[in-house]
Structure 1
Amino acid sequence: MAESVTCCRKIKHYKLILKVTWKFFLRKIKVKKKDSYDNVHNFQTLTPASDVDLSIYEDALNYAFSEAKIRNIAVSGPYSAGKSSVIETYKIRYPERKFIHLSLATFDSTNDKEKNISNLVLEGKIINQLIHQISADDIPKTLFKVKKDISKYSVIRWAIGCSFCFILFLQLFFSLEWKYFVLGLNDSWYKSFFELFTGNGWYLINGFILFSAASYSLYRLIRAQKTQNIIKKINLHGSEIEIFNDSSDSYFDCYLNEVIYLFKKSKADAVIFEDIDRFDKTSIFERLKEINTLLNNHLGIINKKPIRFFYLLRDDSFYI
């Protein structure tokens, strides 16, 4: 009888294993069917292709990278001619070269609105796209605010540190009251423990800890002000001073060092500018060429390789 019960239990156990295995197998089949898709209607993506025939374009781009004096390259052609596909294929073929792609595509149906966009807006768009393609850890000194995740452990450490310093400050400020409080306690082990923090030696240590904490906090504040300009307005006797208060100034003029800093920290071999010609603002190319010259002059001083700017343009972008 006991052997029969044991046999039934084994059979039930094997059935359960088979049932779980079968469900897992069916789930895998469903996932595969869901992932697979038969493109019956021959749908095609409108994104740039990454497997086009480069032919002579590959030699031209390699030549541009081999000549140190070539730093501004225009890739011209009609819209939808495949300029972006050439670049994308080249990027796949040469993964050791780092590219940053800045696209200012507009989908407005009226060309007048595109042409009315000022250089200030275009410069802001370029900077905005640039800072979001660089890790925030690589640009700690930038004035532009970059969203960065803060570790909860870092917040906890700062909270504990501030609370500890606040308690030390209260103890030092109310040292006499603290001493009387400890002396008034009943004789016990914790009274003996608290008496260690009532002597002159402890107050010297307390003062040194608070001085070190204040000095470190002041250092962090000065560093943040110098690198990130966190204080933008100063009010003196009713007179307000604001840094860069003229909103009509060019971003590239106001933040020239910042823009060069961002491009330098990008560690890119080339920066691709796409669709800027749609706005018919040829002066923006003059500004970018100026930025490129200043940037590479600085890189040359510190013996770094130059950064090349590629402009994807239509053929008649600079026709008069």
Structure 2
Amino acid sequence: MTKKIPNTDLLKVFNTNDDAGRDESSSTLKYDSLTSKLKNDKSTIPYFEALDFAFSQDDVKNIAVTGPYGSGKSTVIESFLSLHKKILSVNVSLAGFNIAGIEEKHDPREVELSILQQILYKVDRDTVPDSRIDRIQDRNDKHVLKLFISLAKISIPILVLVALIFTDASGQFLFLPVSLEDSLKEHFILRAIAIGMLFLMALYYLTQSASRAGFFDKKLKLSKIAFLSGDTEVQEQESPSSLLNTCLDEIVYFFSRSKYRTVVFEDLDRLGTSDIFVKLREINKIVNNNRKNNEPVRFIYAVKDDIFLGADVRTKFFDFIVPIVPIMDSRNAYSILKSKILQFPEEHIQCLRGASQYIIDMRSLQNITNEYNLFMDIVDNQSSKPKLFALIFYKNLFALDYNLVDKKLGILYSYMRDFRTKKLHVGHFSNLD
């Protein structure tokens, strides 16, 4: 049985209406953010039912949400989690953005370090007080009160213990009545019992504080974990090759103390390696083996369909797979583009139809329309809408060549130069002759 999906009004992201008439005064229709949106309509119901089934099965701990880039994987996951407030999740994004256009190799330790940062720093220090990883403490009134109580637990039994041992000195210092001093001296057995209890109480609270500080940890001692540089120094043992293995106890401790039971990993496939998936599955197995209750810890992976070569490998790795059908493709890109462009001339509508064949994902389409609508407000030339759109289209698809125009380089600049100097005209008519 799947859970009933709540009927809530959430923000709808995509509008595939073929009508182009829109109000320019409406800023919500004029621009679109490039982040994933929350949806709750008929198109998402099948995905929500599939995820409801996965979360209802205790043996499903590794869930894959697959689809090409821009297909709406993050939209489905975030919309599902927004409808189920009880599912507390940690979002880990490890996208490898190829800024320079050169194939980059990612250091496995840096990738693991980023995973640790985004998971362990989801909670504050008070939630995981016994963590060996130092972090900035928010020293507010609540923290000061906790520190005061901890000191009082140690100091008060010690002070009373000293007062019971040195009754004469404490009586003179505190100006106690002589009758009270004589009573304490007469009841020697009761005083000895009280001294023993106070000693054990002070020793217990002192041991508790020392244990939180890590003084009695004789196993793997991490003397330094520099998260900014990724360096790890380990005492008594050699540094292992995997940082996740080094801090495995920290991850297990995190899930045992916090209320988070779901981790969403996005764009891990951009890293170009499957080793990190194997380690994360091992961690998921270890974390769930250390769970004291029946509520499992689930990992959700938003990845491409071809992350693993071979259907048997993919189905063996993931416990449940939810494929996402792309919202935009070559068949409906034109209708979506036309609905988002404000008052485009009908006589030049073929410009939009031709450009839509080269727009491959929804984020690119949204950014093209955002820049076009913005430039239309800045460039006061309503008669050049097709030319302006063509410029914005080229700027988004061929950003490097577009920016080379300022340096008088590139393909676009060479065509512009040859057109203005009539070189293109001469070549055209020469071919005709």
Q: Is the TM-score greater than 0.5?
A: yes
Residue 291, structure 1, aligned to residue 283, structure 2: yes
- Scaled by the length of structure 2, the TM-score of the pair is 0.49
Q: Residue by residue, what CA displacement relative to the aligned partner does 1:109-134 show, whole Å, maximum 9, x if unpaired?
A: 1466752322x222222122112223
CA gap 1:158/1:56 in 2 versus in 1, 3 angstroms: closer
CA gap 1:195/1:263 in 2 versus in 1, 3 angstroms: closer
2:113 aligned partner, one-letter code: G
Q: Does structure 2 conserve the Cα–Cα contact (< 8 Å) formed by 1:143 and 1:229?
A: no
**Corresponding residue to 1:49 among 33, 37, 42:** 37
Correspondence for 2:57: 67
2:241 aligned partner, one-letter code: D
Question: Does the residue aligned with 1:115 lie in a helix, a strand or coil?
Answer: coil
CA gap 1:260/1:111 in 2 versus in 1, 3 angstroms: farther
In structure 2, runs of 5+ residues without a counterpart are 1-24, 224-232, 311-433
Q: Does structure 2 conserve the Cα–Cα contact (< 8 Å) formed by 1:143 and 1:227?
A: no
Q: Residue by residue, what CA displacement relative to the aligned partner does 1:242-261 show, whole Å, maximum 9, x if unpaired?
A: 53653453133223333233
**Corresponding residue to 1:97 among 72, 82, 87:** 87
1:126 aligned partner, one-letter code: I
- Whole-Å separation in 2 of the counterparts to 1:106 and 1:200: 78
CA gap 1:265/1:227 in 2 versus in 1, 3 angstroms: farther
Matches within 5 A, 1:133-212: 133-134=122-123, 136-146=125-135, 147-149=137-139, 151-157=143-149, 211-212=199-200
**Corresponding residue to 1:123 among 99, 112, 118:** 112
- Whole-Å separation in 1 of the counterparts to 2:26 and 2:217: 55
1:91 aligned partner, one-letter code: L
In structure 1, runs of 5+ residues without a counterpart are 1-36, 235-240
- Whole-Å separation in 2 of the counterparts to 1:311 and 1:233: 30
Q: Does structure 2 conserve the Cα–Cα contact (< 8 Å) formed by 1:168 and 1:206?
A: no
Question: Does the residue aligned with 1:116 lie in a helix, a strand or coil?
Answer: coil
CA gap 1:217/1:289 in 2 versus in 1, 3 angstroms: same
1:278 Cα shift? 1.8
2:123 aligned partner, one-letter code: I
- Whole-Å separation in 2 of the counterparts to 1:164 and 1:94: 47
Matches within 5 A, 1:235-254: 243=235, 246-254=238-246
CA gap 1:95/1:204 in 2 versus in 1, 3 angstroms: closer
1:104 Cα shift? 2.1
- Whole-Å separation in 2 of the counterparts to 1:144 and 1:223: 14
Q: Does structure 1 conserve the Cα–Cα contact (< 8 Å) formed by 2:61 and 2:297?
A: yes
CA gap 1:252/1:199 in 2 versus in 1, 3 angstroms: same
State the identity %. 27
Question: Does the residue aligned with 1:277 lie in a helix, a strand or coil?
Answer: helix
Q: Residue by residue, what CA displacement relative to the aligned partner does 1:292-318 show, whole Å, maximum 9, x if unpaired?
A: 22333344xx45122221111123333
- Whole-Å separation in 2 of the counterparts to 1:165 and 1:153: 19
Residue 215, structure 1, aligned to residue 207, structure 2: no
Q: Does structure 2 conserve the Cα–Cα contact (< 8 Å) formed by 1:141 and 1:227?
A: no
- Whole-Å separation in 1 of the counterparts to 2:309 and 2:93: 22
